[in-house]
Structure 1
């Protein structure tokens, strides 16, 4: 049986219902505003990332063009010839990779690696130019600056490897007559350790029993590169060739600066040491993107 109410009670019930309705509407409006703010922030963040990415791409492309333009002079010393030969291999591999990208053979998942590959090619050219006396002017940090963006990555692999890198940076002091030789020796060992840790011989051989092998029967470095790219879902022939040539370009620096008598590195200029550090540091960073 319906309960009778007084006019006063009815008005009170209506006010309560209206208040609940207003509260519900206010809640919906707050949620809509919050959602709109999240969407707008996401759009702004995305646009900022796109802008930053495009700026990096343009910067890498412009720098590569500038470095290539500087490489028009003839070489003189055997060191310069060796550096050029190694750079030429990197550049040829990069051109093949770029053609594959232009032909639509590489989808969106390759974007970051393509960006970093262009930076690697520019760094390789920049190193040649630096040692031929035409380094691009930079206000970069001292070559033995201890802070490094790749140290956290190396710490993940092992603290010993990170300490090795810190020691390599310390050795890159302009006051050290053997700076380049010591630095490149450590760089070669660090890269070898990264590859062995992230692409162990047993894992590579198990994944690809017919992989290329060294005379000692272990998988070659290129086989390890192919393994790493497959793990990342980036197994593309031109990228594989570029990564292999890029690693070779960094590792070969050991031979470049280990020939001759000790102390020949004493004549190396500050800009050359900076270019050497950038080449190796970014090379390790490039490798880190492939193995993480």
Structure 2
């Protein structure tokens, strides 16, 4: 026999049932809103990524066109060869990306690599007399202070001193700047890839004649820390660093203490190239080059 309930009890049950339906509808609505927000966020990131890719590729195309116009000039032959090597390494990355070797985790790294490829061409174009794109007059403003703070105050102070010295009227600008820039790159490698740590992580790593891990080995160590073991990625980073070192040789050896050797815009292009390379290397060390979000 069914249990009898009063009218008020019946109404209460109806009210409870309606409340549960509303709660379920609200949860469903929240889930849909959350999904739609995730889709909008994803689409926004995709649009931003695609915009960066288009901008990077267009800039690289323009810089390569400029370089082609000066291909007959005998100046900076070794640096030009180094730039060509960077471009070849980048092309290999692009080919592997087109073949779906890399997943979305590599998107930011590929963006940064394309920017470095363009930067390497941009600086030699500036040395050849081409007007740099996005030319800035902020000769002392540093773009890498957030990185230098993680190393030491001394490194930061020396870098700022190098920027202050980077003046076409300063005959010692090349020596001062190149010394500080080399020390900066060396300090980053030594501090964040300690020799013994590299040897322990990579038992068969490449060593110098002095028994120290090579720069390439340290780059492999940084990538190993991020779970990346791709030789093409290692090759590009190594070739990019070699290009910066070659730039130091051109800048330092080519001036011979002459204050009029390089114009202000060329000095700024050199500085920008170094800061871009440091930022790129730091993104690999910190893992942000392979962040998926």
Q: TM-score, normalised by structure 1?
A: 0.84
For the 8 Å contact 1:97–1:239, the answer to whether it is kept is: yes
- Alignment partners' CA distance in 2, 1:251 and 1:127: 13
**Aligned residue-pair number:** 283
Q: Is the deviation greater in 252-261 or in 234-243?
A: 252-261
Q: 1:109: which partner in 2? A: 105
User: Within 1, Cα distance between the matches of 2:175 and 2:167?
Assistant: 12
Structure 1 residue 260, shift from structure 2 partner: 5.4
CA distance in 1, matches of 2:48, 2:241: 27
Residue in 1 aligned with 2:208? Answer: 214
Please identify, of 88-97 and 276-285, the stretch whose mean Cα deviation from structure 2 is larger: 88-97
Unaligned ranges ≥5, structure 2: 287-293
Whether 2:38 is the aligned partner of 1:36: answer no
- Does structure 2 retain, via aligned residues, the 8 Å contact 1:61–1:118? yes
Question: Given that residues 135 and 265 in structure 2 are in contact (C-alpha distance below 8 angstroms), is that contact kept between their aligned partners in structure 1?
Answer: no
Aligned position for 2:284: 290
What stretches of structure 1 of length at least 5 have no aligned partner? Answer: none
Q: For structure 1, which segment, 114-123 or 104-113, has the greater mean C-alpha deviation from structure 2 after superposition?
A: 104-113
Q: Deviations over 1:61-105 (max 9, x none)?
A: 11111111111222244xx33431321221222223333333443
Mean Cα displacement is larger for which, 81-90 or 134-143?
134-143
Q: Of the candidates 217, 226, 230, which is equivalent to residue 220 of structure 2?
A: 226
Q: 2:117 aligns with which of 111, 115, 121?
A: 121
Q: Is 2:44 the counterpart of 1:53?
A: no
Aligned to 2:95: 99
1-structure distance, mates of 2:22, 2:259:
73
- Asked if 1:83 corresponds to 2:79, the answer is yes
C-alpha separation in 2, matches of 1:170 and 1:291: 28
TM-score by length of 2: 0.84
Distance 1:249 1:261 in 2: 18
Q: Which residue of 1 aligns with 2:193?
A: 199
In structure 1, the partner of 2:15 is 19
> Is 1:64 matched with 2:60?
yes
Contact kept, 8 Å, 1:127 with 1:276, in 2: the verdict is: yes
Q: Does 1:274 align with 2:268?
A: yes
RMSD: 2.7
How far residue 256 of structure 1 moved from its aligned partner, in angstroms, is: 1.9
Q: Deviations over 1:149-203 (max 9, x none)?
A: x322332344443444444444445665544543332222111111112211111
Q: Distance in 2 between matches of 1:265 and 1:17?
A: 91
Deviation digits for residues 109-129 of structure 1 (CA, Å, limit 9, x no counterpart): 332222211111110000010
Q: Which has the higher contact order (CA 8 A, sep 6+)?
A: 2
Deviations 1:192-245 (A, max 9, x none): 111112211111222334322212121111111122222222222222111111
Larger radius of gyration: 1
CA separation of 1:168/1:28 partners in 2, compared to 1, >3 Å: closer, same or farther? Answer: farther
Where 2:204 maps in the other structure, the secondary structure is coil
| Equivalent residues of 2:86, 2:243 under 8 A apart | yes
Q: 1:180 to 1:42 in 2, by over 3 A?
A: farther
